[in-house]
Each structure stands twice: as structure tokens, then as C-alpha cells.
Structure 1
Amino acid sequence: MSSNNTAPDFTLGRAHGTVMVFSWILFASTGVLFARYGRSIRLNKQKQLLGEDIWFQVHRFSLVLAVIGTLLGFFLILGQAQGQWVDQIVDGNYMFAHSILGAIIVGCALIQAWMALFRCHPDSPFRFIFNWVHRTTGMLAFILSVPTIFLVVYVLLQYHDGFVAIMSLWSAWIVIIFIVFEVVEYRFRLKSSRIEIEKSKGRSDRQSNDEHSSSAMNEQQDQTNGHGYFNKLKIILFLLNFCFAISLVIPLVVLIWKQA
């Protein structure tokens, strides 16, 4: 005879947390960072991979996984709740707020997927509208993902301190990595602008005097070395973010599945 005191099964809820953590801490952060800072990335002096720019391939692959994971997580939690929306009185303010922010994130993910499928041609006069809506929607969802996860942390009593510590580290890290990338990108653009000015001057000089051919070669070498330095630095930062995200996602998932 079955007992009425059997503890509820939260397997679907744990699975929901798992795919959402992977989607927004690992995949979304990788996709967002590559879209903003990875456009100059080259591997073995190659800018393209399988016919597309490397940054775009990584951006698209990462965010496709993030969207798929988000939709999967949404259906998992619907299954856990048996299709019922969170009740603010019964489940509390934290879970109700989590459900609202989660719905906004799912909506943003669907909008991003729709826009990606039907985006206009890069040469279209309306392309700037797509670019701004795409960036705004993506950044809104990514930023909201942090408080959305934090809200769940406050209702998980087991290993509460561990959850808070991990999410605090992630919140601090994502601010730091964006600041570091902004500094690197600013210096890269400054260096590129200076090199372009020197190249323009070099071309003018060569038109009047062929003796400057050796200096032009030196300028080209300086350009290659300068871009190579920033290229390596960016790759290191991308790998660092990926490794740091993994190092937080794994213990976070372990704690999720250890919940009673």
C-alpha cells in the first residue's frame, strides 16, 4: 500500500535548474562575449571557420544551445508544476518573482530565435534596427538571468551558503570580465587606428619616394605583431571565462541535485 506521506519528486525541477545554469552561465556568456569582443579573432591567422567568421560561428553555436536549453528548461518546470503558474501566496514572493523574470527570459529567447531566422540582409537599410533589437534583447535576457537564479537560491535552504557564494562569484566575475574586455578592446581599436594612419602616411610617402619600401614593410610587421598580441590576449580571456564558468556550473549543479 502506498503512503500519503511520500516526499514529492522534484527531478524535473532539478533538471530545469541544471539546463538553465548551463544555458545562461556557460553558453550565453560565451555567445555574448564573442559577439561583442570576438570579431577580430583569428586562429592560425584564419578569420573564418566553415565559411563564416570565427566569432559568428561561436556566437551562433553557443546561443543556439542557450535557446534550446532555455526552452527545454521551461517545459521541464511546466512538467514539474503540472502546468500550474506559481502562486504568490502559496509559493512566496521569491518564487513568484523568479517565475516572472523567467518568463521574460524565455520570451527574449524566442524573440532572438525568430529574429535570427528572419534577419534582413547585412546590406539592408533596416539592418541597424535588427542589430539594436538583437543586442538589446540578448543583453536584457543575459542580465536578468543573474537575479533570476539568485531568487531561487534564497528559497533553497540546504547548502544555502554554497549557492550564495557561487552566484556571488559569478556576479562579480561577469562584471570584471566585461570591464577587462572593454579595456582590451579600447586599446586594440586605438592601436588599429594608429596603424591605419601610419599606413596612409606610408602610402603617400611611397608615391613620392620608393626608398620608404623597407619602412613600409616594418609598419606592416608592426601591424601584424600588434594585432597578434591582442588576438592572443582575447583568446586567453575567452578561455578563462569558459573555464571559470565551468568551474562554477559544476558545483552549482551538484548542489542542485543534492537538495532533499
Structure 2
Amino acid sequence: MASSNESPDYTYAHAHGTVMVLAWMLFAPTGIFFARYGRFLHIGIRRKILGEMLWFQAHRLALSVAALATLLGFFLILVQTKSTWVDVNTGGKLFYAHSIMGVLIVCFSMTQVWMALFRCHPESKFRFIYNWMHRITGIAAFILSTPTIFVVTYGLPYNHNGFVAILSIWTAWVVIIMVIFEVLHHGWKPARQPSKTQYKIRQTASGLPGTDQQQNEGTIVESEELDNNTVNKMKFILLSVHVIVSIALAIALIVLIWSDG
């Protein structure tokens, strides 16, 4: 029997915070970024891994891990609280708000898994419904994840300044990296043009002399390939930097979660 003055054990709560931080600061945003900005990524001339597009494999893996971690985190906090709901009077308004938003995130995550498992064929006339529902549900969960973490860490009685600083840096980083990606994705174009040699190589490979219009189209395609190679490298660098920053901030936050005195 534990003595009455023994401090409560928050191991499961700390484990809950750990897996949720990894899910929504590392895996979820990485998976979203691959789907949004990585659809034309390639390694050399290879665009597929194990029969699927590179971006899709990374997207599916990262979001699957995020969904599993979210479900695990939900079960961990149920163990900690002995399956009782947070009382707004005894638990505090911040923890109560965290519980509501957390349940919404779990529901969004499980809905994503269900939709992905039973999605219609890409050529189906109803595919656009799945695409928009998939986007809306995923973005809603990700947007909600940041205030959910903010709320609970703001209510913790320890390491308050550290939590706020790390989460503020994280929020700023996500905004910055998304702005850079959007500029690169829509507005950045290299100024260089393909040389005549590059065009002749392409024309010889096609085996068709073509009309003037076809020759111009060949030049445009070649130019787009050069653009894609340049942008491809930049996107790989940005995604790598994002993963490194996410891991560093997630580890810092996890250390604070477990250092409760």
C-alpha cells in the first residue's frame, strides 16, 4: 500500500505526451508536406519505391505512424485517468479543453484511416469527394494539434517558460517552412533555358522530326525537366531540414515533459 503522502505516478501521462508530441510535431506534418509539396520528388530518375510513388510511400508511412501513435496516446491517458473524464471543476478548464480537443483529433485520425482503407478507385467519378474529405480532415487535425499541446503545457505547474518557448518556435517554424514551400511550389522558376544540344538529344530520342510547334513543345518539356531537377533538390533539402528541426524540438519538449521535478 502506498502511503498517503506519496506523490502520484504520472508515468502514463508522460508517455501519452511523448507519443502525441512525436505524432503531431514530427510524423503528421512530414506526411502532409510530402503530399502537398513532394508529388514530383525523385531520386535520380527513380520516382517509385516498391511500386508506388516516392511521395505516396512517405506520406502513407508517416501518417500511418501518426495515427497509430495517436491511438496509443489515447489509450495511455485512459490508463492514467482510469477511464474517467476530466472534471472541469477539479481538473481545471485548460485540461478539460485539452481533453475535448484531443478526442476530436483522435476522431479525425481514425476517420482518416477508415477513409484511406475504403477509398474509391482514382478513376471513380466520386473520387473528388474522398480527396476533399481527406484534405479537410487531415488539415483540421493538424491545425487543432498545436493549440491542443499549447493548452495542456500552459496548464502544467512546471517548466512553463520552456514549454511556451519550444511551442512558439515550433509554430513559427511551421509557418516559415510552409511559406518557403509555397513560394518554391508556385512562384520560383529558374531563368536558364535548354541548349540546342539538349534539344537535339531529346529530338533524336523521340525519333520524330516534328513541326515547329512540336519542336517548341519539346523545348518547353526539356526546360521543365531542368526546372524539376533544380526544385527537386531544393525540396529534398527543405524536407530534410524540417525533419531535423522537428526531431530537435520534439526531443526538447519530451525532455521537459519527463522532468517534472
Letter in 1 for 2:259: K
How far does residue 217 in structure 1 lie from its aligned partner after superposition? Answer: 7.2
Describe the superposition over 1:123-161 as per-residue Cα deviations: whole angstroms up to 9, x where unpaired: 000000000000000000000000000001111222111
SS in 1 for 2:148: helix
Q: CA deviation at 1:222?
A: 3.1
Compute the displacement of 1:225 (Å): 2.0
Q: CA deviation at 1:224?
A: 2.7
Per-residue displacement from partner, 1:173-193 (whole Å, max 9, x unpaired)?
1111111111111036x77xx
Q: How has the CA–CA distance of structure 1 residues 115 and 220 changed in structure 2, closer, same or farther, with 3 Å as cutoff?
A: closer
Quote the offset at 1:219 in angstroms: 5.3
SS of the residue 1:222 aligns to: helix
Q: Which amino acid aligns with 2:258?
A: W
Inter-partner Cα distance in structure 1 for 2:211 and 2:27: 53
Q: Following the alignment from structure 1 to structure 2, what is the Cα–Cα distance between the partners of residues 76 and 247?
A: 24
- Which secondary structure state, in structure 1, belongs to the residue aligned with residue 155 of structure 2? coil
The equivalent of 2:258 in structure 1 is: 257
Given the two structures, how large is their TM-score scaled by the length of structure 1?
0.89
Q: 1:145-224 residue pairs with structure 2 within 5 A?
A: 145-187=145-187, 207-208=210-211, 221-224=222-225
Q: Give the secondary structure class of the aligned counterpart of 1:89.
A: coil
In structure 2, the residue corresponding to 1:108 is in which secondary structure? helix
Identical pairs, percent: 48
Q: CA deviation at 1:218?
A: 6.1
Residues 23 and 209 of structure 1: CA distance in aligned 2, closer, same or farther (over 3 Å): closer
* Cross-structure match for 1:47: 47
Which residue of structure 1 aligns with residue 31 of structure 2? 31
Cα distance in structure 2, aligned partners of 1:96 and 1:2:
28
- Equivalent residues in 2 for 1:7-86, closer than 5 Å: 7-86=7-86
What do the CA deviations read for 1:18-68 (whole angstroms, capped 9, x no partner)?
000000000001001111111010012211111000000000000000000
Task: List runs of 5+ in structure 2 lacking aligned partners.
Answer: none
Compared CA separation, residues 223 and 95, structure 1 to 2 (3 A)? same
Residues 80-122 of structure 1: CA deviation (Å, up to 9, x unaligned) = 0000001001011100000000000000001001001000000
Distance across 1 between alignment mates of 2:99 and 2:131: 28
Q: Which has the higher helix share?
A: 1
Aligned to 1:116: 116
2:5 and 2:18 mapped to 1: Cα distance? 27
- Opposite residue 224 of structure 2, the aligned amino acid is Q
| Contiguous gaps of at least 5 residues in structure 1 | none
Question: What is the identity, as a one-letter code, of the residue corresponding to 1:243?
Answer: I
Three-state SS of the structure 2 residue aligned to 1:119 is: coil
- SS of corresponding position for 1:9: coil
